[in-house]
């Protein structure tokens, strides 16, 4: 945008302005000067050198490009950690009032006091008076409030470097001791078998050195720390350079774990066959199933499932709400589990809590001695009775001495005591068996007699059939027509016996199904 003082220019003035800018860029004309008398680089674009119209700038300058809204009250300084301003020799009035002088300091209250609790307060003993801390108040700017490294002392990282260096040194020392121990054992074995030539000794020494180098290289950390010294005008400065080995360099096999160069991630383990104690990187997936990553994954899954079921929950839009609902869900789930467990234990009991198990659960083992003969009869001792099941056994109904299903004949179940195939019948005993056998014999005899009578045909009666024109009387013809009509109206050949005995009526009543009986479905 043009400045506020810029007016309309004609075509000629515009051409002269362009020629002047070209000469300034080529160095043939002096550079333009701003309000402060400083030269403006002619290669700076016009949209940067020209101030907006609302600034009312009369000449081109670069002041509008600077931070003109900076607050002088903002600071980037930080608290002086652990600084003390005054050390008192005796208790002062007003020090930590609410607990009668806990530590004797006057710069904090009871809740902020970090001194250990004392049996006798400083107010009464005048001993171990804590010094007053240095209290500072800063008004940080926008960047200072959001700077996560604000107040960090880089010198404290030297302790981390020293700890890792000490660990590496101890590891190298341990490996050298192990190599020397193995070599001594090997020499002792060889000295016991015989003398070894000097050439073999030289080979062993070289082999020992090579193995030590290989083991030491294997045990190097995943990240190498290098110490460098930089010399400046004010003196020398120690710099620790942290050089991380790229993940794709851990295994140069083309068929190894896939490496994504865009995200610099390698999910699978590049060295799956290596010793877990020697490798320091096992892929990015090893961190996804440990720590809080697994909890966060379960929280996301719960949010998805709840959202699919119609609940208004979203992990990204309302993470606090999603986490609160997930916690309530876990509490309710554990409560339901405990109630279900309690209900099952009340119904079936808890075999673990019982001190003595029932004898039936001890595989039927006992210390009782029972002696049998060759036939399987008991000679000495009592036989162990078999435990009964939870179902009803030996349930004898209607005066039966055997259970239903103890007898089978002609594809029908029945009672063995009376050989009846009707489940709800009364037991008739041996008399019922004899009557049934007699009825069976009688039925067989009747069937045989009927079959014999059918084999001998009855004599046929001669019938005179009337024909047309034979002179048959009309009355005979009418009788014949009436007989034919009677034959047509004749029903099935059904025979019945009206004489019914009391036993047959009792059997009929027992067989009859009462539809209003609620237990009729359990009679079969």
Query: What's the rounded Cα separation, in Å, for the pair 401 and 394?
Result: 9
C-alpha dist (Å) from residue 110 to 101, 144, 195:
9, 30, 80
φ, ψ for residue 313, nearest 5 deg: -145, 135
pLDDT at 169 over 90: yes
pLDDT bin (cut points 50, 70, 90) of residue 467 is very low
pLDDT bin (cut points 50, 70, 90) of residue 168 is very high
Mean pLDDT of the chain, nearest integer: 77
pLDDT at 404 over 80: yes
pLDDT at 327 over 70: yes
pLDDT at 465 over 70: no
Indicate the angle between helix axes 319-348 and 292-308, nearest 10 degrees: 90
Indicate the angle between helix axes 157-193 and 198-218, nearest 10 degrees: 150
C-alpha dist (Å) from residue 153 to 35, 81, 150, 156:
42, 11, 9, 6
Task: Provide the pLDDT for residue 389.
Answer: 67
Summarised one tens digit per residue, pLDDT across range 514-524 is 777 777 777 65
pLDDT at 221 over 70: no
Q: Which residues lie below 8 Å from residue 524, measured CB to CB, with a gap of 6+?
A: 423
Q: Integer distance in angstroms from the first to the last C-alpha of the chain?
A: 104
Determine the average pLDDT of the residues in 37-45.
87
Query: What's the rounded Cα separation, in Å, for the pair 448 and 433?
Result: 23
Lowest-confidence segment of 78-92, 162-176, 439-453, 456-470 by average pLDDT? 456-470
Q: Count the alpha carbons within 13 Å of 154 in the hemisphere toward its beta carbon.
A: 4
Cβ–Cβ < 8 Å for 44, 51 = no
Task: Provide the pLDDT for residue 405.
Answer: 84
Task: Provide the pLDDT for residue 489.
Answer: 62
φ, ψ for residue 360, nearest 5 deg: -65, -25
Cβ–Cβ < 8 Å for 267, 285 = yes
pLDDT at 218 over 70: no
> Whose CA is closest to 513, among 423, 436, 432?
423
Query: What's the rounded Cα separation, in Å, for the pair 336 and 350?
Result: 19
C-alpha dist (Å) from residue 511 to 307, 434, 435, 436:
63, 22, 19, 17
Single pTM value for the model? 0.26
> Whose CA is closest to 324, among 333, 315, 337?
315
Cβ–Cβ < 8 Å for 64, 57 = yes
Task: Provide the pLDDT for residue 193.
Answer: 60
Summarised one tens digit per residue, pLDDT across range 170-214 is 999 999 999 999 999 888 888 776 554 454 555 555 544 444 444
Task: Provide the pLDDT for residue 106.
Answer: 82
Percent of the chain with pLDDT over 90: 11
Summarised one tens digit per residue, pLDDT across range 139-167 is 887 888 888 888 888 888 899 999 999 99
Percent of the chain with pLDDT over 70: 72
3-state secondary structure of 138: coil
Delimit the domains of the chain by residue range: 11-65, 74-152, 157-287, 292-347, 398-451
Cβ–Cβ < 8 Å for 247, 259 = yes
Taking each continuous run of H as one helix and of E as one strand, the counts in the chain are: 11, 8
Summarised one tens digit per residue, pLDDT across range 481-503 is 676 666 666 666 656 667 778 88
pLDDT at 355 over 80: no
Cβ–Cβ < 8 Å for 91, 44 = no
Q: Which residues lie below 8 Å from residue 265, measured CB to CB, with a gap of 6+?
A: 247, 259, 284
Task: Provide the pLDDT for residue 171.
Answer: 93
pLDDT at 379 over 70: yes
Summarised one tens digit per residue, pLDDT across range 246-278 is 888 888 888 889 998 888 888 899 988 888 888
Summarised one tens digit per residue, pLDDT across range 380-403 is 776 666 666 666 777 788 888 888
pLDDT bin (cut points 50, 70, 90) of residue 287 is confident
Cβ–Cβ < 8 Å for 113, 100 = no
Cβ–Cβ < 8 Å for 120, 75 = no
Cβ–Cβ < 8 Å for 283, 268 = yes
Task: Provide the pLDDT for residue 246.
Answer: 84
Query: What's the rounded Cα separation, in Å, for the pair 266 and 285?
Result: 8
Of 235 and 338, the structure prediction assigns the larger pLDDT to 338
């Amino acid at each position: 945008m043009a400045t506020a003082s810029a007016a309309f220019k004609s075509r000629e003035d515009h051409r002269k302005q362009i020629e002047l800018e070209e000469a300034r860029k080529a160095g043939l004309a002096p550079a333009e000067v701003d309000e402060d008398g400083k030269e403006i680089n002619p290669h700076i674009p016009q949209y940067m050198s020209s101030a907006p119209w609302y600034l009312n700038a009369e000449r081109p300058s670069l002041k509008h490009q600077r931070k003109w809204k900076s607050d002088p009250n903002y600071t980037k300084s930080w608290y002086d950690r652990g600084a003390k301003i005054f050390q008192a020799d005796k208790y002062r009035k007003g020090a930590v009032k609410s607990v009668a002088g806990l530590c004797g300091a006057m710069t904090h209250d009871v809740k902020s006091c970090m001194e250990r609790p004392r049996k006798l307060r400083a107010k009464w003993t005048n001993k171990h008076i804590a010094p007053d801390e240095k209290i500072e108040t800063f008004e940080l700017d926008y960047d200072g409030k959001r700077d996560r490294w604000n107040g960090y002392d880089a010198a404290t990282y030297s302790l981390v470097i020293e700890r890792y260096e000490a660990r590496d040194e101890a590891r190298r020392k341990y490996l050298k001791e192990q190599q020397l121990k193995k070599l001594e054992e090997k020499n002792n074995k060889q000295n016991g078998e015989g003398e070894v030539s000097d050439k073999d000794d030289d080979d062993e020494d070289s082999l020992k050195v090579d193995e030590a180098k290989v083991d030491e290289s294997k045990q190097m950390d995943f990240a190498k720390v290098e110490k460098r010294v930089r010399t400046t005008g004010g003196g020398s400065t120690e710099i620790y350079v942290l050089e991380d080995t790229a993940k794709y360099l851990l295994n140069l096999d083309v068929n190894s774990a896939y490496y994504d160069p865009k995200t610099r991630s390698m999910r699978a383990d590049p060295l799956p066959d290596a010793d877990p104690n020697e490798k320091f990187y096992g892929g990015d997936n090893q961190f996804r199933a440990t720590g809080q990553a697994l909890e966060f994954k379960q929280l996301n899954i719960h949010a998805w499932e709840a959202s699919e079921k119609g609940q208004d929950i979203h992990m990204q839009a309302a993470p606090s709400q999603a986490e609160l609902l997930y916690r309530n869900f876990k509490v309710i789930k554990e409560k339901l589990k405990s109630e279900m467990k309690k209900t099952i234990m009340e119904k079936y009991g808890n075999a673990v809590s019982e001190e003595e198990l029932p004898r039936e659960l001890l595989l039927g083992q006992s210390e009782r001695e029972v002696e049998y003969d060759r036939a399987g009869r008991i000679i000495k001792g009592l036989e162990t009775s078999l435990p009964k099941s939870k179902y009803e056994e030996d349930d004898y109904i209607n005066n039966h001495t055997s259970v239903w299903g103890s007898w089978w004949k002609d594809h029908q179940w029945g009672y063995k005591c009376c050989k009846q195939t009707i489940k709800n019948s009364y037991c008739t005993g041996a008399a019922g068996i004899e009557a049934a056998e007699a009825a069976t014999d009688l039925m067989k005899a009747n069937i045989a007699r009927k079959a014999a009578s059918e084999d001998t045909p009855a004599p046929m009666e001669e019938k005179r059939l009337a024909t047309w024109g034979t002179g048959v009387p009309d009355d005979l013809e009418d009788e014949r027509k009436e007989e034919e009509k009677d034959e047509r109206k004749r029903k099935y050949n059904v025979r019945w016996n009206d004489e019914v005995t009391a036993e047959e009526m009792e059997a009929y009543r027992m067989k009859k199904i009462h539809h209003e009986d609620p237990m009729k479905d359990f009679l079969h």
